[in-house]
Structure 1
C-alpha cells in the first residue's frame, strides 16, 4: 500500500509555489524590492530560489565578501512567511577569477580555450575552480544554513557541457586506466580500435573526441560521454560536500534540464530531492498537437519522479513564454493552470517559475516572468499565477502522496548516446526519444501511470515492462529481463534492440542478442525507410490480443524469423509482405512481445497497450473511456486517491465517470457523473481507496 511521505521541508509542509528571484539586479531600486514582497504574497507565492548567479554580488573581489543584501532579503522573507532555496553560485563565476586564473575557463572540442562569458563556461576538473567554489559555498553555509527562511540547497544551475583542457585529458586517461584495469589491449579490443588502424600503443595517445581529430571510434565517444557525466556528478558532489555539514537536515537538490550531457539517473543518487526545469512550447507543434507535447512532458515528469520514487520539485517553468524557443507563443487561456497542475498530477510538490521579475537588460530581458516590465500585478499572467497559487493552497493533503505504478518504460542514457552515434539504418533520424514517447503516449492516453526506469533497475514490481529501441544492452541485463518474463512478467521490445553491448561492440550470434531467447525471434535485417515510404501492420485473424484491422508503418522495418514466437500481425506490403511484424513469445510464466516496425498511427499504441494491459491485469486510473488528448493521473496516501483529469485535446470534452463516488477537490462537493472539460481544462477528484 502506498503511504504518504514527509514533505520536502518540515518548515513548509505545503505545496510550494514561487520563482527564481534575482534581487541583486535591483539593489539600486529599493522600492522594487519592497513591492516584490507585497506581490509575492498577493500571488500566493511561498518560496523563492535565490543566489543562483550571484557570485560577483557576494564576492566582488577575491576574498572580499559582502552579504548585507542577502541578509536583508532572507530576513524580509522570514518576516513575511516566504521561504528560500539558497543556491550555490557556481553556474557563473566572476570576471576577476577568469582574468587571474585562466585555467578555470573551459576548452572546447577544437582545443581553444574560451574567453570569460555566458554561464557554465568553466572546467569541472580545475583545482582552482573547485577551491573557489568550496570557499564561497562554505561562506554561504556558515552564514545561512540555519536561517529560518532557508528550506534547502539549490546546487548551481542546470549542470552541463564539457571541457577538453589538458587537466580533463589527464583525468580522462586516468578514468580509462581504472575502467580497463590499466590494460591498453583491453581498451583497444573494447573500442575495436584496429578499425582504420586506430590502435593505441600508449595511454598518452588517447584524446577526447575532436572535430579535427578522432570522431569515428564509437567506444571512445561513448566512454567520453560517460566520463563527462561522471566528472560533472563528481563536481556536484564536491559542492554538496562543501555545504552539507553545516546543517545536515537541509535537503539538497540541483535543477535538471538538458538530458544530453549528464546521466541524470546517476546524478539523482547523490541528491536528496529531484528537481527539473520544464519548458514545453505549448501551441507550437508542427501538427498543432498539444496532446503529443503533453505526453512528452508527462514522460519527463514521470522520469524525474521515478528517480527516487517520491515527490520531486518543478523548479522552473514559464508563466507565459520563453525568449529562446524559435517562436515565443503566449499560453492560451487555461494552459498555465493545466500545465502547472500536470506537474502536480505526476508527483511534483511544487510549481516554480523562471523568473519572478523580468530582467531589465541582457539575454533574458524578454523571458517570461510573473512580473513584466510594467512592474504591477494587473496583468493576465499575474492573475494566472495567482489562480495557481490559490489552487495549490487547497492541495496540502496531496503533499507527500505517491503514485501507484504497475507499468515501466526503460530509458537509458548509455543507450541514448550509443543510438545517436550508431551511423546506421536511418541517419536522417532514428528518433529514439520520440519512439519512447510514442509508446508512453499509448499508456498516457489510457490513464495508466508509468515509471521511467533504467535497464539495470529492479523489474519485479511491474506487471509490464516496455523497452523501445534497446539498442545497447548488456548480457547481464538481458538475463535479468529473461528471468523477469519467466517469472510471470510481461515485456515488450521493438526493432533495433539487442544490437550492441556495453562498449558499443555488436553482439555476435544474431540480433536481438541477449533478448533473442526472451523474444523468441531472430532479426535478420533492419531497414531504414525514406519519409515517402509507407508500409503497414495487418493484424492476424483471431490473434491473442484480439486486435483487428491494419495500421500504417514507416521509417524503420525489421525482417524477423520466428524462433518460438507466434505472429500477431504481418507486414502489409513490399517484398516482406506477409512476414511477422508483431509477435508474442510465451516464456515460462510470462509473455514477451516484439514490434518489428515503427507504426505511424498513434491509435495503434493506444489499442496495443489497452489490450496488453487488459491481459496483464493492469489498472487504469479511471475505469472509463477517455477521449483522445484527455488523460487521468493518480496520487495516493493509501487511504485517499487524488485524480487529475486533464484535457490537452484542444477542444471541449466530456468524461463519463465510472460508478465510484468522487469529490471535486476544488469545490469540496460531490463530482457529477459527467465531467465537462473546457479547452485546456482539468478537474481534480478525490475518492477512497
Structure 2
C-alpha cells in the first residue's frame, strides 16, 4: 500500500506575505510592488484568488498572459506564489449562461450575481466550470518555479454556506441515502418524524429545512448542516485532486475562517496539506488578544502542529459598523501572538489597499497613504522580526489542558426552541478559556472522541450534543486519573438530537455523580446568588447528588440550597460539574482550584497583562512575552537564554518596554522545571508534554513523532 506523504511548504523560515491583486493596478505599479515586497521581507504572495473572469473571459477561452507575467515577476524577485484557483468568484458570463447555478435562500429567493461566492454548491454546471478552470491552471503552471503552494477557492462557506434550491434538495437526498444506508425507516427513527406527523414514505418527499409555518425539526437541521459542510468539502477535494495530480510535490490548502459555524473543520483539516486560517479581530472587543489566542489555538489543534495565518488586517476593516484602526503597536502584537500560538506563516488581506470596489476601505500592507505611513513602518518592522524568528518554525505547543470543541454540538445548541435561546457556544467556550489565558496556561482544542492521554485536565463547556463514543472517551479519561470539568446543558442529546432520557446531564450523569430532573434557565440579565459570594447567570437546575459532593450551592431563588457546582471521584480521576454560568471572578477561582488539583501550571510566571506562550523544539523552548496591557514588565527567564529579536543574552531576565514583545530562546538541557506560585518546590513535576491533538501534519514542517 502506498503511503501518502504530505508535501511541505518550501518557503524558508516564517512565511510572510499577503493577497496580491496586481490586476487592480496598471503594470507600471508592479515593479514598485516587487521593490516594496523585498523591503518589507515578503517571501510569499497569494495570487489569482478572484481572477476567474480575467483568466477565462468566455467559456473555454483562456488568457493566461497576465498571470504568466505576474508569476514570472514574483519568481524573478525571490517571492513564492500561493497560486489560487479562482472559483470563489464565477464570471458574469457564467451566471448568464447557467442561471440555475445561482444560490437560493431558505425563503425561496434566487440571489443575483454581482459580488462573490454566489453559486450553488450542488450545481453541476458550477462544478464542471470550476474543475475546468482549475485543470487549466494546473496544466499551465505545473512546471513553473514560482508556485510554492496551491490555494483552493477562498473561504468556503463565507457567504454561501447553504443553497435551498431543488438541485440542492436532490443532492441532500442522495447524501441522506448514503448516511442511512438507503434505509428510510432508519432516517424516520433518527429524525423522530412521528412528531408532528412528519413521517416520510418516499425519499423524494424530503426537503431541505426551508422556511415553514412553524419550527423546524432539529434532527433535519443537524443533518442539513452536516450535508452542507460535506458538499462544500467535496468541491474542495475535487479541485485539490486535480492540482495534486499535476503537482504532487506542491502542498495544497484553503483558508478556514477562525471560529465560523459554517463548516465542520474537524472533517476538513485532514484533507489539507497546510491548515490555513483567516482571522479578523473585532474592534468592539475590548480584549481582542484573547480571541486571537483562542482561534490560533483552535487552528494549531486542527493542524496538529504549526499552521498558516492566510489573512488578517494591518488596521481597519470595512465590514464593521464603525471601522477603527489598530492601536499603536497592535499590528505587531497581533501578528506575533499568532506566531506564539503556532503560526508558521503570517499574511494579510491585502498587499495594496484597493482604490475601488467593495473593500476599498479595508486596510492593507501598502495603505492609500503609501509608504509614508505608520502601517508601512510597522509592516517593515514585522518583516524584520519574522526573519529573525526563522528558527522558531516547526516548533510545537506544550498544552496539558484541552477544551472540547465540536461543530455539531455548536449547531445543535443554537437551534431554535432551546430551554434558553441566549446560549451561544463560542461565548461559553471563551468564558472558560479566558481564565486559563490570563494565567498563561496552554490549551489545545479536541474532539470529544480524541486521544486525551497527553492531558491532565479536560474542560467540556456547552457540549450539548455528544455521541456515545465521545461520552465514553471522556469518562475513560477521568477513570484513568484525569480531571474533567463539564458545563451545564452538556450531554443532553445524542448524535441525532434525541434527548437522553433518565435525567440530566444525560451522557455524563455517571461520571459526574449527579442527576437533575428539571432545568430552570434564567432570564436575560437575571442572576442567582451562589455560596461564597458569587453569582450565576443563564442557567440553573434542580440537581441531586448521586455520589458527588457539593462545592457551591444556590443561595436564593427557587433553587435555594441546591448544588450549583459539584465534584465527584470517578475511578482514579475527578469530575466536576457546573450547573450554572458563574460570574468571571467565580469561574476563575474555580478553574484555578481545578488546575492546582490537576497539577497544571502556567507556561511561565509573568506580571498581569503580559501574555506568555511557549513553543518547543527538540533543542530549545521559545518563550513569547507580549505586553498587551502597555505597562512594561520585567520577566525572569533562564540564565543562558537569548532574546531573539535583539540577539542579546538575557542574563536571567527580560525587560519589556510598554506594549513591546520579546521572544526568548531557552536551550533545553534535559527537562527544565518551572514552579509557579502555589506549587511546592519539594514536589516538582515534568515539563509540559508536546501535543499534536489531531494527528494531522500542517505541511509547513516535517514533524517528527515522539519529540518532546
The normalised TM-score by structure 2 is 0.90
Cα deviation code 1:117-143 (max 9, x no counterpart): 221111222222212111111111112
Cα deviation code 1:335-378 (max 9, x no counterpart): 0000000100000011110011122212011111112234x311
Between the aligned partners of 1:363 and 1:85, the Cα distance in structure 2 is 23
- Decide whether aligned partners of structure 1 residues 532 and 243 sit closer, same or farther in structure 2, where only a CA change above 3 A counts: closer
Cα RMSD for the two superposed structures:
1.9
The answer to whether the 8 Å contact 1:519/1:565 transfers is yes
Deviation at 1:431, TM superposition (A): 2.1
Cα deviation code 1:459-498 (max 9, x no counterpart): 1221111110111011222111111111111111011111
Cα deviation code 1:222-241 (max 9, x no counterpart): 11111101101011101111
The structure 2 residue matched to 1:355, chosen from 350, 353, 356, is 350
The structure 2 residue matched to 1:686, chosen from 665, 682, 685, is 665
Q: Match for residue 522 of structure 2?
A: 529
Q: Match for residue 382 of structure 1?
A: 376
**Secondary structure at 2:306's aligned position in 1?**
coil
- Decide whether aligned partners of structure 1 residues 6 and 67 sit closer, same or farther in structure 2, where only a CA change above 3 A counts: closer
Cα deviation code 1:8-67 (max 9, x no counterpart): 423x221111110111122xx222111111111111111110000000111111111111
The answer to whether the 8 Å contact 2:134/2:242 transfers is yes
| Residue 393 (structure 2) pairs with residue 365 (structure 1) | no
Q: Match for residue 17 of structure 1?
A: 16
Deviation at 1:619, TM superposition (A): 3.5
Deviation at 1:670, TM superposition (A): 2.8
Deviation at 1:101, TM superposition (A): 1.6
Q: Match for residue 544 of structure 1?
A: none
Cα deviation code 1:545-593 (max 9, x no counterpart): xxxx432222222331111111122223223233212211111111111
Q: Match for residue 542 of structure 1?
A: none
Q: Match for residue 478 of structure 2?
A: 485
Deviation at 1:281, TM superposition (A): 2.1
**Secondary structure at 1:645's aligned position in 2?**
strand
**Secondary structure at 1:528's aligned position in 2?**
coil
Cα deviation code 1:93-125 (max 9, x no counterpart): 111111112232212212232222221111222
- Decide whether aligned partners of structure 1 residues 38 and 307 sit closer, same or farther in structure 2, where only a CA change above 3 A counts: same
Between the aligned partners of 1:181 and 1:21, the Cα distance in structure 2 is 46
| Residue 570 (structure 2) pairs with residue 573 (structure 1) | no
Deviation at 1:625, TM superposition (A): 4.7
| Residue 324 (structure 2) pairs with residue 325 (structure 1) | no
Q: Match for residue 552 of structure 1?
A: 535
- Decide whether aligned partners of structure 1 residues 23 and 379 sit closer, same or farther in structure 2, where only a CA change above 3 A counts: same
The answer to whether the 8 Å contact 2:487/2:577 transfers is yes
Equivalent positions of 1:431-580 (< 5 A) are 431-538=424-531, 549-580=532-563
The answer to whether the 8 Å contact 1:7/1:13 transfers is no
The answer to whether the 8 Å contact 1:495/1:526 transfers is no
The answer to whether the 8 Å contact 1:215/1:221 transfers is no
Q: Match for residue 249 of structure 1?
A: 249
Equivalent positions of 1:89-238 (< 5 A) are 89-160=86-157, 161-212=161-212, 215-238=215-238
The answer to whether the 8 Å contact 1:50/1:85 transfers is yes
Between the aligned partners of 1:558 and 1:79, the Cα distance in structure 2 is 66
Deviation at 1:82, TM superposition (A): 0.8
The answer to whether the 8 Å contact 1:209/1:215 transfers is no
Cα deviation code 1:311-351 (max 9, x no counterpart): 10000011111110121111111100000001000000111
Between the aligned partners of 1:255 and 1:341, the Cα distance in structure 2 is 19
Cα deviation code 1:497-541 (max 9, x no counterpart): 111111111001111112111111112222222233222332xxx
Structure 1: unaligned runs, 5 residues or longer: 539-548
Between the aligned partners of 2:328 and 2:205, the Cα distance in structure 1 is 59
**Secondary structure at 1:461's aligned position in 2?**
coil
Q: Match for residue 592 of structure 2?
A: 610
| Residue 666 (structure 2) pairs with residue 666 (structure 1) | no
**Secondary structure at 2:445's aligned position in 1?**
strand
Between the aligned partners of 2:334 and 2:615, the Cα distance in structure 1 is 17
The structure 1 residue matched to 2:619, chosen from 613, 623, 639, is 639
Cα deviation code 1:207-264 (max 9, x no counterpart): 1111246742111011111110110101110111121111111111100116222111
Between the aligned partners of 2:567 and 2:168, the Cα distance in structure 1 is 48
Between the aligned partners of 1:6 and 1:638, the Cα distance in structure 2 is 21
**Secondary structure at 1:114's aligned position in 2?**
coil
Q: Match for residue 313 of structure 1?
A: 308
Equivalent residue pairs, number = 660
The answer to whether the 8 Å contact 2:640/2:651 transfers is no
**Secondary structure at 1:667's aligned position in 2?**
coil
The answer to whether the 8 Å contact 2:639/2:653 transfers is no
The structure 1 residue matched to 2:295, chosen from 276, 300, 305, is 300
Q: Match for residue 541 of structure 1?
A: none
Cα deviation code 1:51-90 (max 9, x no counterpart): 0000011111111111111111111111111111000000
Between the aligned partners of 2:143 and 2:378, the Cα distance in structure 1 is 34
**Secondary structure at 2:37's aligned position in 1?**
helix
The answer to whether the 8 Å contact 1:537/1:552 transfers is yes
Cα deviation code 1:250-289 (max 9, x no counterpart): 111100116222111111121111101111024x33xxx3
Between the aligned partners of 2:520 and 2:653, the Cα distance in structure 1 is 47
**Secondary structure at 1:550's aligned position in 2?**
coil
Q: Match for residue 701 of structure 2?
A: none
Q: Match for residue 677 of structure 2?
A: none
**Secondary structure at 2:614's aligned position in 1?**
strand
Between the aligned partners of 1:49 and 1:338, the Cα distance in structure 2 is 23
